[in-house]
Structure 1
Amino acid sequence: MAYAALVSLLQTLEESPQPMQQIPSHLLEKVGRLLRILDDPSRKNILSIRDLEGKIRDASFEAQDIIESHITADQLELSESVSSGVGSCFCDIISALQNMFPVIHLRETSTDFMDQGMNLEVRGLERVIDELDLILEALSKIKDGKEEAPEAGNSRAAGSSRFVASNESGLVGLDEDLMHLRDRLTGFSSNLDIISIVGMGGIGKTTLARNLYNDRLIEERFDTRAWVVVSQDYSVQELLMVLVNSTRRDGGEVDKKIVEELKVSLHKNLKGRRYLIVMDDVWDTKAWDEVKRFFPDDNNSSRIILTTRQSEVAMYANPRSDIHRMNLLSVEPSWDLLRKTVFGQEDCPYAMKKIGRKIAKNCRGLPLAIIVIGGLLSRDITEENWKRIAQDVKSSIAKNDGDQFMEILSLSYDFLPRHLKACFLYMGVFPEDYEIFVSQLIKQWVAEGFIRPLHDESLEGLAKDYLSDLINRSLIEVRRRKHNGEVKTFIIHDMLRELCLKKAQDEKFLQIVNSYSHVFTQGGNNHRRANCGCLHQYSNFGIFKL
């Protein structure tokens, strides 16, 4: 959340009133340098930079607190001078604010902002600048190669497909998807066809692709087949090795290490043959660019399947073809999948069906959630256990297989560019199942300082672009559109909202106030926002910046 903190601080600095001209000018310059570094996509996965982001965030928060406390003190001082003619109600509000936020009394320790040349606020800002200098020095060492900066490995990313595959309970609720894509794979078109399967994490993209890949009729139709998991942090060499070894005519394996030789071998292996290639879990267009030239189009009805959470990747790979978007399961298929996960081919006892259906419905149509909760139910098939789980499905997942489940969903968050992370986490302020109006959200994003100005484009226009990007990344779902096609409202899946809340707490971005106890949950210190809301009256919730 370092990027969002810097953007918000930059906005505060640029909008500060005249009395704050004494802010050291080099603070603005250092904020700009840090933003340019974080904007560099080549640095996105460097672990050393990730470690420094927490320090950047905290330093930015401290600077913003100092500046805003001074501005607040100015405003309250002005308000107090006119409060005698306003009425007792306004005075009560001012008094309440002073009691809630004692930090605003910093002015009392120094009557003039530049008292004796160095007051508390300036000393605080100088301390922040010293911290930013140390951070910039550390970042410079990484850039100059003086400090080892290992890239994040791909072991975690590759786990999502393996987890889904290992928990398959047969193809449930995907019959129409299977039939439609089977027709495309076996259709009469002789051109090379690239078929993209798009959907949120855990929705069953890999399961559907695996069923197509293993279909006997499809297997017999193609001369050769290959399946490769790409993941976020792929190695071009490893991708090519898998593809080359899977498509060798003699069935052997090569041990070539030179990428260019592997590319030539892949093209040679596929030339003149009808092939089926599955590229599973593709995250960006670069992965496709690395290999696309080596898939020959010999007008022999070859096919390539891509699975991805990113609509942009699908449209880039084949802009002339329709994307196959996967939908969440309806209630009946959800129950069928849960029943098969728990009982296999056996029937569910009658006494458990009503509870089971309720649990399936509460998974909100996400196959991954259904499979995970099915594993929990199968451990103790008693009415007491099932009723306990039915009371709070999300908590049951979190207490048991939550780490692996959330890890799969977290991949989408981790892959977001820095400017989108705060925008996504902000979805956590809205209640569960809340239909969010775009016009409302955009105003809040802009007010929070999440939208960084770009040339002459309006902040509202940029915010709409941000929202479209989140939609294309399968993180939010359009609910209603305007007559001109623009998005009017959208929703966020319950499980992705849980991801928002978890990440937001980790990043000290947001804290939910328990509506029953009216206290902060554990870890509530030093959070930037609080969501105070009633769990049942969705129209009554508030968002407060702390």
Structure 2
Amino acid sequence: MIRTLTSGPAEIDVISIVGMPGLGKTTLAYRVYNHKSIVDHFDVCAWCTVDQERNEKKLLQKIFNQVVGFKERFSENDIDEDVADNLRKKLCGQRYLIVLDDMWDTATLDELTRPFPEFRKGSRVILTSRKKEVALHGKCHSDPLYLRLLRSEESWELLEKKVFGEERCPDELKDVGKMIARKCDGLPLVLDLIGGVISRKEKKEVLWLEVLNNLSSFIFQDEEEVVKVIQLSYDHLSDHVKPCLVYLASYPKDKDIRISALKYFWIGQGLEMKSAEEVVNELISSSLVIPFDNSICKIHDLVHDFCYIKSRKEKLFDFIGGSNAPSSSSGMMARGITIQSLFHLDENFVVFNPEKKNPYVKHLLTLTVYENCLPHKSHLKHLRLLKSLNLYGVPLTDSLLNEIGMLIHLKYLLIQTKAKALPSSFSNLCNLETLVVNNVEGSCMVLSPCFWSLAKLRDVWMECCAVFDPDINEPIVLDEDLRLENLKTLYELYLPGS
């Protein structure tokens, strides 16, 4: 693949990777995309996970932001009508590589590739898809790469490496181990998941035979059978780790999961744990979470779907994203809501409008809102039972900031604000344990007296904070009884020189 990408015709070429879920299409594309020779060869690289997103303009904006190196989140309401034309202009004269991951239909493929300019610079597109017809439709010069299932000996080699690392399997377990490998039907995802299950069991034949018997009824020709293996892997997780996995479904499918942020993510969902590192290690060893390097991990699409279905059954959270309509009308009474997009959403959506009566809102314990997805005229003060509020990338007005101070049960809060200090209403947040503040435009937040009254605070993360206004250089007088005895982390405190 690397040779095909870096040599061959000067015209634009599409290299397609095709196969059923679990064969490693995205993993292969990701490894190639990040290979040093590829990074050095292309002027511009961009990755876009398509999945079943129908909003082509939003997908083009995602590609455009990467091409121009734009790090800030954008509002869907601000998507440029001429985003395709702007993308074409930015790509002109460049040797570019663009990955379109998980492409479902030819119409979306045509819309996304239309702005890609035809220059004889050796530009390339990597396309991954489950559908052969999509790959053939996008073909320019190179034939699609059809990923095959693993042969029996390859399956055993992968399973043995997953369970024993660099060591060899004991002779007494080889026969049952090879039978387990054959039952996985050559599907790498299934082999990896089953390897995660038996690697945490004692190395005893009777226990491995139990796994073999569980697999005996599966024939991995469709997604439903693979999901049964995910369930098997899930069942073998520690009880306190299971909800940590399920809540990962509130991440969008196309987002990298930063390992260092997982602790605060789980705390924000109201989960209690002794060690986030141990949870991450168990999820990785079970192959339900895939590490791509020391800082980033992902979950497979089928694992993501499994977690989302599980979250719905257990009424953990409702999910609103892409063109999905809100499912609150079903009366699901979810304990949490994650909103990734307000596409097709009424600005008076009931979660944010206290005048529209809906009993399930009163039961909300967690609310996560991504990327400017807060409608105008929103209110939060009526969400009285909230324990976790994550307004990721959502600039707050002064009135909304004040309303947050009325949510007295909050334990976790993540906000973005231009304010120089927290409002006095925050002194009501007597249960707050974790506070994350994204100070926009590089501003420094002054830790006003109300901050020092939050006695249960344990972890505070800010872009920049100071105990007094560095522009005025006047100390703040605090009551001597105000002590943050539980505080473990204060990041990043600004201490100006004298």
TM norm structure 2? 0.42
Q: Larger % of helix: which?
A: 1
Q: Larger % of strand: which?
A: 2
- Higher Rg of the two aligned structures: 1
TM norm structure 1? 0.38
Greater relative contact order structure (CA < 8 Å, 6+ sep): 1
